[in-house]
Amino acid sequence: MAVVGSFVPAIAAGSKAPAALPLGGALPDKANFPIEGTYLDAAFCHPAGRFARAAAQAYVDARFQAPQAFSPRQNTRKEAVERFARLINADPADIAVVPSTLEGENRVNAALGIGADAGVVTDGLHYDGALALYGELARRGTPVGVVRPREGRIDLADVARLITPKTRLIAVSLVSSTSGFLYDLAELCALAHACGVLVYADIIQAAGAVPIDVRASGVDFACCGTYKWLMGDFGAAFFYVRADRLDRLVRPAVGWRSVRSQQSHNLPLDPPGPALDDYELAGGAAGLFEVSTPAWGPLAVATAGIDHILGLGVEAIVRHRRPLLARIREGLPREFVPLTDAGSASPYLSFAVRDARSRFGPRLAAERIKISTYPNRIRISPSVYNDEADTERVIRVLSA
């Protein structure tokens, strides 16, 4: 569900996009995010900043003025991938662009030949869409082990117990979207690699919000949509593939982005040859996993979003957010049972509380406060535009 109503930026519909304000600067960043009401739901969908609106407007203006302003030879992919690579300490050559995070996870499974003789270990705190993916694979005969959480955490000893000779992949969310549990990714990868198993990390709730170093962690695959903490939009995701794992993978799909060169033999002036053409497929992460035209508009917005994050600095974002989360944790009544570890670097807090949506939803809406509410759980996720007044407001309303 999109962010609507009183929570959208206070900019008149149809008005000319304002110029983005300078990148970086002091926090809270109220100037780039002129939000009406109190928005504490960035983990669901981050608001678009002025810089994102300016980038989107520039993209549409270019397409309006020239139909081929963007093309396979001139587009926003290179800049976006370079920015994301810098954010996670990767080589741009190791990053592909796919439509979504879960699309990347599906492609990993296909490329590894996950099936009856190649199993997966995951956990009950992984993204719910991914759990459905592994549920379907299990129905088809894939050995799937699922670690049950203990008090909102995953114990690596439990992960180790589920690894079998058939396990080929461990698939997790680096930050759980339900409890906020944050893996030590380096420890998980060391455990997996010692058993000859590869690791996929869904990093959509981490990239841009917590420091990530894919090289230091040793993670094999990671994927991240841009509409959460990257301050981007829907329709584009970055998919990291460790270069020395490419030789273990089978190409999961083929399209024009997979082709390095091609010669037709079907038109009158073509040289003779096979009706299916002569072609050479590209290698690398992009050659293996990109199939068709990337979403150049969302990539333009993602570039602006990541530039803003790099300007602020992820560590500065963490420092800004930490006291806000600590105050929320200490300020809510005892019936709100924390699911997120105290002291965790997770970018949000989750609480178990009975009948949360029915009890608190109307009250929050009346006060124009947006958090994530579920039948028996809430999630509060501040970002760079929030301040102490916002936290006191949500504490007051939930405590009433």
pTM of the full structure: 0.92
Which CATH number does 5-48+315-399 carry? Answer: 3.90.1150.10
- The domain locations on the chain are 5-48+315-399, 77-254+284-306
pLDDT tens digit at each of 400 positions of the chain: 233 233 333 222 333 444 444 555 689 999 999 999 999 999 999 999 999 999 999 999 999 999 999 999 899 999 999 999 999 999 999 999 999 999 999 999 999 999 999 999 999 999 999 999 999 999 999 999 999 999 889 999 999 999 999 999 999 999 999 999 999 999 999 999 999 999 999 999 999 999 999 999 999 999 999 999 999 999 999 999 999 999 999 999 999 999 999 999 999 999 999 999 999 999 999 999 999 999 999 999 999 999 999 999 999 999 999 999 999 999 999 999 999 999 899 999 999 999 999 999 999 999 999 999 999 999 999 999 999 999 999 999 999 8
Alpha-carbon Rg of the chain, whole angstroms? 22
Give phi and psi for 86, each to the nearest 5: -65, -40
Specify whether the CB–CB gap between 124 and 100 falls below 8 A. no
- H, E, C per residue of the chain: CCCCHHHCECCCCCCCCCCCCCCCCCCCCCCCCCECCEECECCCCCCCCHHHHHHHHHHHHHHHHCCCCCECCECCHHHHHHHHHHHHCCCHHHEEEECCHHHHHHHHHHHCCCECCEEEEEECCCCHHHHHHHHHHHHCCCCEEEECCECCECCHHHHHHHCCCCEEEEEEECECCCCCCECCHHHHHHHHHHCCCEEEEECCCCECCECCCHHHHCCCEEEEECCCCCCCCCCCEEEEECHHHHHHCCCCCCCHHHEEEEECCCCCCCCCCCCCCEEEECCHHHHHHCCCCCCHHHHHHHHHHHHHHHHHCHHHHHHHHHHHHHHHHHHCCCCCEECCCCCCCCCCEEEECCCHHHHHHHHHHHCCEECEEECCEEEEECCCCCCHHHHHHHHHHHHC
User: Which token pair is 280?
Assistant: 């050479």
pLDDT of residue 117: 97
Which CATH number does 77-254+284-306 carry? Answer: 3.40.640.10
